[in-house]
Structure 1
Amino acid sequence: MARVRLIDVAELAGVSMKTVSNVVHNYPHVAPALRQKVQSAINELGYRPNLTARRLATGKTGMIALAMPEIDHPYFSELSRHIAEEATRRGYRVLIEQTLSDPVAERAVLRDREAGLVDGVIFHPVRMGTLDIAKLAPGTPLVLLGEAAMPVMTDHVMIDNVAAALGGTRHLLNSGRRRIAFLAVMDGDITGSTNQRLLGYQQALIEAGLPLRPDLVLTARDFTAEAGVAAIEAALERGLHFDGVVCRDDKFAIGALKALQAAGKSVPEDVAVVGWDDTLLARYTSPALTSVAPDKLAIATEALTLLEERIGGYEGVGRHRIVGHSLAMRGSAPRLRE
């Protein structure tokens, strides 16, 4: 089948090739009715821009890379969808890369951009440090996500993990809980987020005048729901008493629910549980999970806005953006009665 050309779209839509080009490049001055007419012709013919020709004409491909540690992790999956949908709305196509937190794969995210496949990168690093990124990133339009590295000249988007954990723990304290566990820390944790969430948890306990008890900070072998089950089971087996749990993510929280219910503990009557990330899974547990809810759409929108500005020529000092969060109240730690 012959490749559909720009002129084919123009002839079907009854417009000039320049107008089709303006629509393809998402130029804002095209009238809505005309844009729709051209887009209908594009859809009907199945037209796809020639990236090589576009690069020769504009110096840009219209593609961006999105590099995440795990694309099947519920949080990263949902965030990736927001980014992909917002990128499409802005006229970009998205190349998704999974690094599995491997340092070689993470370095390749930045080093291999020299191939010129994409105009910019949104990247959630885990292993790479600040100096590593600073050395590899010059000239690469780049926005970082997460809590790991923050080079001076690189844009960065995240939520305030300390404040979010403080709020989730306060919610349990305000409901009368006084022996609140944290699920969980892990030996060799390289994520950067656990320590910040643990700090917010501790801050809430200190504010409430409660002692910090190391035995209430549970440990897990890895970041899976199964590890969350094992950590809660081990705590119960050694006779640890707790009436609330703040979890570092929803997978741990789901594990906590399963272990508590298997032990005959009622949630939230005996133990209230707060998760983290407010993923779709949280709505379908029993009881439904109260969870710290990062504003994933705001993360996506802010990251793409910063990246577009970098692609457009901004070369200033890195901008650090903190987006909002909330606490999605459900049955595992319900809203307080007024």
Structure 2
Amino acid sequence: MRGPRLQDVAERAGVSMKTVSNVVRNHPHVSAAMRERVQRAIDELGYRPNVVARRLATGRTGFVAVAFADVAIPYFAELAHVASRRARDFDYRVLLEETDDTIEGERALIASSEAGLVDGMLFQPSKMSPSEIAQHRSQIPIVLLGEMPAPLTMDHVMIDNVAAAREITTHLLDSGRRRIGFVGHETTSLSETSRQRIIGYQEALTGAGVRADPRMLVATASIDAADTAAAVRQALSDGWDVDAVVCRDDLAAMGTLRALHERGIRVPEDVAVTGWDDTRLSAVTFPSLTSVSPDVDALFTRAMELLLERVAGYDGAGRHEIAPHRIAIRESAPSIPAP
């Protein structure tokens, strides 16, 4: 016995087959009432779209690649989780790619981006320059994520890292902190991520009349909590005197918490600490971390919309868009109540 067809759903809902197709494909221009009406018919009949037939008819694979440096980094792990979940809203599945945070890995990824395997790619570069990315003629559409400057010919979605760093540093200044350090940037060759966050940190200090002192910056050997703890221990031994710390990411903040605790320095009573990325672990550290919280859902959803417009044939200039963020206030750097 055959299963229910698209035509059966249309007849049950009293609409055209095209309307049912638009609902199944999650087309944006369908009213909530019509979507509910068609979905009710789908549920009643137990209709399941014929994915294979649809892909044969459209010539699309139903897969997108999501590529970044290292899935072991908590932010990227959570981005991968959001990508896998949200892609289903667009009737897509995700293939993950890692570049190992190397120029060779990124070049290999771009060089192998062939049509037929995926319909498009969301790519967060950390090494390739905008000009090198722009010169590559990919067979598939690519939308860029992250802090690296993007070519004017390509779509790009990111949060405003300078503004977010300025906001979280201002949060510390507003609580009365003045000896504010920065922890977690690279020992050599600053990444674009670190550069933008240090700029925002310095802008907030300067705006409050606090001198930005290079000696307040503590670099780390890698994006790793243990390496951060080691660097902060050494800085404290060398006389690093702070009453607050802006950390480049949540891993750096966790390492900082560890090193301060070992020295008997209380957080936040003696030193306030902030993280970045608002990863799940930040809510369960002790104390829990105040952290910059990018809206990863909004970021991925908008990037996916731009990508699918490219898949559908849009060939205009690049759209460069800013995704929202907020400051998640927790125990490590609480707000000071207004008098």
Structure 2 length-normalised TM = 0.88
* Letter paired with 1:277: D
Please give the secondary structure, in 1, of the residue aligned with 2:51: coil
Answer with 82-91 or 274-283: which moved more.
82-91
* Letter paired with 1:104: E
Structure 2 residue 10 is matched with structure 1 residue 10: no
TM superposition shift of 1:193: 0.5
For the structure 1 residues 48 and 249, does the alpha-carbon distance in structure 2 shift closer, same or farther, using more than 3 Å as the test? farther
Equivalent position of 2:91 in the other structure: 91
Please give the secondary structure, in 2, of the residue aligned with 1:293: strand
Selected match of 2:51 from 49, 52, 57: 49
Equivalent position of 2:152 in the other structure: 152
Answer with 255-264 or 138-147: which moved more.
138-147
C-alpha separation between the residues in 2 aligned to 1:160 and 1:104? 27
Equivalent position of 2:67 in the other structure: 67
Matches for 1:18-29 after TM superposition, within 5 Å: 25-26=25-26
C-alpha separation between the residues in 2 aligned to 1:226 and 1:33? 54
Structure 1, unaligned runs of 5 or more: 1-6
TM superposition shift of 1:188: 3.6
C-alpha separation between the residues in 1 aligned to 2:133 and 2:321? 18
C-alpha separation between the residues in 2 aligned to 1:103 and 1:77? 21
Q: In angstroms, what is the RMSD of aligned CA positions?
A: 2.6
Q: Encode CA deviations 1:264-315: one digit per residue, 9 max, x unaligned.
A: 0010111000111111111001111101111111111111111121111111
Q: Is the 8 A contact 1:250 1:275 kept in 2?
A: yes
Equivalent position of 2:164 in the other structure: 164
C-alpha separation between the residues in 2 aligned to 1:153 and 1:275? 33
Q: Encode CA deviations 1:26-59: one digit per residue, 9 max, x unaligned.
A: 557685454455467466xxx8732xx5454212
TM superposition shift of 1:241: 1.0
Please give the secondary structure, in 2, of the residue aligned with 1:82: helix
C-alpha separation between the residues in 2 aligned to 1:12 and 1:119? 25
C-alpha separation between the residues in 2 aligned to 1:42 and 1:192? 48
Q: Is the 8 A contact 2:82 2:300 kept in 1?
A: yes
TM superposition shift of 1:24: 5.7
Q: Identity over aligned residues, as a percent?
A: 44
* Letter paired with 1:93: R
Please give the secondary structure, in 1, of the residue aligned with 2:318: coil
Structure 2, unaligned runs of 5 or more: 11-16
TM superposition shift of 1:12: 11
Please give the secondary structure, in 2, of the residue aligned with 1:100: coil
C-alpha separation between the residues in 2 aligned to 1:253 and 1:287? 11
Please give the secondary structure, in 1, of the residue aligned with 2:112: helix
Matches for 1:1-338 after TM superposition, within 5 Å: 8-10=2-4, 25-26=25-26, 32-35=36-39, 37-38=41-42, 41=46, 49-50=51-52, 54-189=54-189, 191-338=191-338
Please give the secondary structure, in 2, of the residue aligned with 1:10: coil
Structure 1 length-normalised TM = 0.88
For the structure 1 residues 269 and 78, does the alpha-carbon distance in structure 2 shift closer, same or farther, using more than 3 Å as the test? same
